[in-house]
Amino acid sequence: MIVSGGCLEDSFAAAYVKSHSFGLMIAADSGMGFFERNGWVPDYIVGDFDSVKPGVLQRFSDSGGAEAKGKKPVILQFQPEKDETDTEIAIRTAIEHGCGAIHLLGATGTRVDHMLGNIHLLGMAMEQGVECFMVDPKNRVRMVQHGLVLKKEEQYGDYISLLPFTPEVTGLTLRGMKYPLDRAVMKCYHSLGVSNEIVGAQAEISFQEGVLLVMESKD
């Protein structure tokens, strides 16, 4: 799990952490504030630390945090003038430690540039064979280059939206959905795939070539 420095609802994020079992927890820059507020200690803290509140990093450096109980995070600090965002560094750190799946919290918010950058980072993880989910209270977003099955009882919200992340996604077939497709070509610069719904026990999404952005959303 990575907690980034975007908009974060503590009650949602804390419940999300408690409902999952994470082998590695990483704070990206001001995401460390979430851990301090909840009395948890991340395994890694990474970033240039230009947006964290004064004193938070120092408290983790000194003792690990209020509930550390002897645990101290590994702190990796970088210069603000760098090619990667703090979130990218965090994802690379997770991949280097062999994580097979990454859940990214605090990656959405008012900065559209950061949010779009984080969506692109889903592809970086995908190319490394690592499943990466960007999650907030209303959305769960992933990027895929192969088909998948979504069970209705496990979906995140009521709507499934599919957008091509390559100029074309070919052979797109949707089954078990309100708006089915059969070997269609989905092209960029259209909104064809927005707000579909699962109508059966599960939805089957398959395609031949391309990359799809899969968004599960709730109102």
The domain ranges of the chain are 2-137, 144-217
Side chain identity at 129, as an amino acid letter? G
Structure tokens at 95: 């991949």
* 3-state secondary structure at position 99: coil
Can you give the pLDDT at residue 181?
97
CA distances from residue 51 to 1, 41, 42, 55 in whole angstroms, order as listed: 20, 19, 18, 12
Give, for all 219 residues of the chain, the pLDDT tens digit: 999 989 999 999 999 999 999 999 999 999 999 999 999 999 999 998 888 877 888 888 886 555 556 678 999 999 878 889 999 999 999 999 999 999 999 999 889 999 999 999 999 999 999 999 999 999 999 999 999 999 999 999 999 999 999 999 999 999 999 999 999 999 999 999 999 999 999 999 999 999 999 999 998
Residue type, 15: A
- For residue 47, what are its two tokens? 């970033």
Give pLDDT, residue 65: 56
Per-residue pLDDT, 137: 96
pLDDT at 50 (0 to 100): 83
Residues 108 and 135 sit within 8 Å (Cβ to Cβ)? no
Q: What are the structure tokens assigned to 196, written together?
A: 């579909």
Are 54 and 38 within 8 A, CB to CB?
no
Q: Could you give the C-alpha distances from 144 to 13, 111, 183, in angstroms and in order?
A: 24, 24, 17
CA distance 164 to 115: 17
According to CATH, the superfamily of the domain at 2-137 is Thiamin pyrophosphokinase, catalytic domain (3.40.50.10240)
Q: What integer pLDDT is reported at residue 67 of this predicted model?
A: 55
pLDDT for residue 37? 92
Q: Do 86 and 29 meet the contact criterion of CB atoms below 8 Å apart? A: yes
Topology given in CATH for the domain delimited by 144-217: Jelly Rolls (2.60.120)
